[in-house]
Structure 1
Amino acid sequence: MTKRPFLMALATFGAIFLVFFLIILAVGNLAGRPTPFPLGEKVGVVPITGVIFSSEKINEAITRFREDASVKAIVLRIDSPGGGVGPSQEIYDEVRRTLAVKPVVASMGSVAASGGYYVAAPANRIIANPGTITGSIGVIMEFTNFQDLLEKIGLKTQVVKSGEHKDLGSPVRPMSEEDRRILQSLIDDVHDQFVTAVAEGRSLEQDKVIALADGRIFSGRQAMAAGLVDDLGNLRDAVLLAGELAGIRGEPRTVYPAPERPRLFDYLIQESITRLRQGLQEQNPVGLQYLWQGH
């Protein structure tokens, strides 16, 4: 007799747990969050928006969708003028890694230029709007010189360095011809990496890509004529194509990365830091950039 109330309580607890589990699973599914349970075949959409400062969140989303058995294909929704060389190359590598597991389609929004094009290049197919701004295959590095300004206000800088080129790119002295030669050599090497990535990703001859890789921009229609884009269409067209490549019957359901929900205080602090950092980087970009500056 004493065991019966315990068993009933255990059964009740188990039933409540099961109901809550199913509710959480259903809500997550309706909200488009990837789950470890394949509740229907879906296409995962990974947004890549704004200047590419970091690859961490984007690659995290790509990896989760790649490992989710219910996600049969991935669409990269790109609306970006590009950004840092390192992050762009890291996303490129993650896309290539994913191609061995499931199809990837790139969908270009308003802008998918420079690094924004770089991350799209390895996809199985690239779809752009006719008026999408894309291309801008090239590398840029900027330096601002404050020497004249400092002299006007009476400030002098003393530099102690371990080698002749340790202060390469210094804003407080003129750029020498040797400085320019070193930097140009660096730019040329990274540009060659960009050209090679596009040639491999698009299965194009290196010489053909070189002819297009002078930094110019293209409309989506021009890019398709040049072989940089496969088709013209919108995001829905890209999702349908991804579903077709994955063998999904009918119109596929889409799933997006789950938004982070940090605590309010943490969110405000992190958002302030992020915006300050982005503002400083936009005003004074540091390092090599796969970036179209017309945005």
Structure 2
Amino acid sequence: MRFRIVASLGALAVLSGCILYAPVDLGALGSPGKLQETVVLGRAGAKLALIEVSGVIAEADSRSRIGISERPGLIVETRNALDRAAADEDVVGGLLRINSPGGSVSASDTLHHEIESWKSEHKHPVVAYLNGIATSGGYYVAMASDRVIAHPSSVTGSIGVVMPGLSIEGLMEKYGVVDQTLTSGKFKDAGTLLRDMSSEERVQLSSVINDLFARFVDIVVKGRPELSREEITTLADGRVYSARQALESGLVDELGYLEDAVEELETRAGISESRVVTYHRANQTRENIYSRGPNISVQVTDVNLLPIRRSELAPGFYYLWPGALEP
């Protein structure tokens, strides 16, 4: 009887899925198209490249809830955009629009490195614009810029490291499940969810977290030279800051809107007028400077492309504000 109920529910789920996803153009989802350039602001002058850093920073491709690859991952797309801008002699600066709660430690650091290398190699000024949520790894990436401007209602900060984890040892004991994992050393399975973590393991893993935290602080020290290491360490207790609090503490340079960031970048590039350009796939549209993210077709909006959830985080170390994720 129980099997029949489960089978019936499964069939209903499949049927519901068919009804929900029937209008989706799967070919469009799996094929991101070629990278294109669109002018989203201005009509004359040199170009300023608008680089989007949106969503959880990860190395994997972005995927829909139904498991179909929608577009290349954030690092891949950022590198593609930077390469496209580097090949264009009319591009004289980069504008980072950041709306991200952060991501994995390695992905955040890689993205910061890519932007910093582009800026250094091509001698272009870079301005970071914090829009909405720009916390942890998102703020880490902003440290590659020459100036940080925050939207008046944005939040930032969350400087620190998190290693998600839980233990189901008590649940296993309740149902008589025994862990028989074999390891080559006492720390080999540290952090496993199959048992509670020992005090020794906590110390060992905390040492890794402390090293990664020190790396974060180093990046902020370099990006905010007007603040001492002691001041930054005090600010870096993991809390998030409103835009006003971030300005008062020295984590950002000013509050403003996207147009203010463009004007700042024009000044740093030594130009009086500009064309702000963005790079996107052929199956996406960009109508103005506020256009962001995929806009493939009406059919694709039927797909549930939700942000990553806390429960979907892979094991590892993160420069991430968990409070910005769905349960």
Q: TM-score range by the shorter chain?
A: 0.7 to 0.9
Q: Is the 8 A contact 2:310 2:322 kept in 1?
A: no
Cross-structure match for 1:267: none
Cross-structure match for 1:80: 100
Offset of 1:66 from its aligned partner?
3.1
2:83 match: secondary structure: helix
- Structure with bigger helix share is 1
Compute the RMSD of aligned alpha carbons: 2.7
Q: Return the alpha-carbon distance in structure 1 between the equivalents of residues 86 and 264 of structure 2.
A: 17
Cross-structure match for 1:68: 88
Q: Return the alpha-carbon distance in structure 1 between the equivalents of residues 175 and 151 of structure 2.
A: 51
AA in 2 matched with 1:166: K
Q: Return the alpha-carbon distance in structure 1 between the equivalents of residues 317 and 305 of structure 2.
A: 21
Cross-structure match for 1:290: 319
1:167 match: secondary structure: coil
- Describe the shift of the 1:284–1:145 C-alpha distance in structure 2 as closer, same or farther (beyond 3 A): farther
Query: Is the counterpart of residue 112 in structure 1 residue 101 in structure 2?
Result: no
Q: Return the alpha-carbon distance in structure 1 between the equivalents of residues 177 and 321 of structure 2.
A: 34
Cross-structure match for 1:213: 236
After TM superposition, list the pairs within 5 Å mapping 1:124-135 onto structure 2.
124-135=146-157
- Describe the shift of the 1:179–1:260 C-alpha distance in structure 2 as closer, same or farther (beyond 3 A): farther
AA in 1 matched with 2:130: M
TM-score by length of 2: 0.71
Identity over aligned pairs, percent: 39
Cross-structure match for 2:252: 229
Offset of 1:71 from its aligned partner?
1.2
Offset of 1:261 from its aligned partner?
4.2
- Which of 1 and 2 has higher RCO (CA within 8 Å, sep 6+)? 2
1:139 match: secondary structure: coil
1:256 match: secondary structure: strand
Offset of 1:227 from its aligned partner?
1.2
1:294 match: secondary structure: helix
Mind listing any 5+ residue stretches in structure 2 that lack a counterpart? 1-35, 60-74, 285-303
AA in 2 matched with 1:86: S
Q: Is the 8 A contact 2:93 2:125 kept in 1?
A: yes
Of structures 1 and 2, the larger Rg is shown by: 1
Offset of 1:45 from its aligned partner?
0.6
AA in 2 matched with 1:88: S
Cross-structure match for 1:162: 184
Per-residue CA deviation, residues 146-170 of structure 1 (Å, 9 max, x unaligned), is: 1122222332221111111111111
Q: Return the alpha-carbon distance in structure 1 between the equivalents of residues 76 and 93 of structure 2.
A: 20
> Which of 25, 38, 48 is equivalent to 1:43?
48
Q: Return the alpha-carbon distance in structure 2 between the equivalents of residues 224 and 281 of structure 1.
A: 29
Aligned length: 254
Offset of 1:121 from its aligned partner?
1.1
Per mean C-alpha deviation after superposition, the further-off stretch among 139-148 and 60-69 is: 60-69
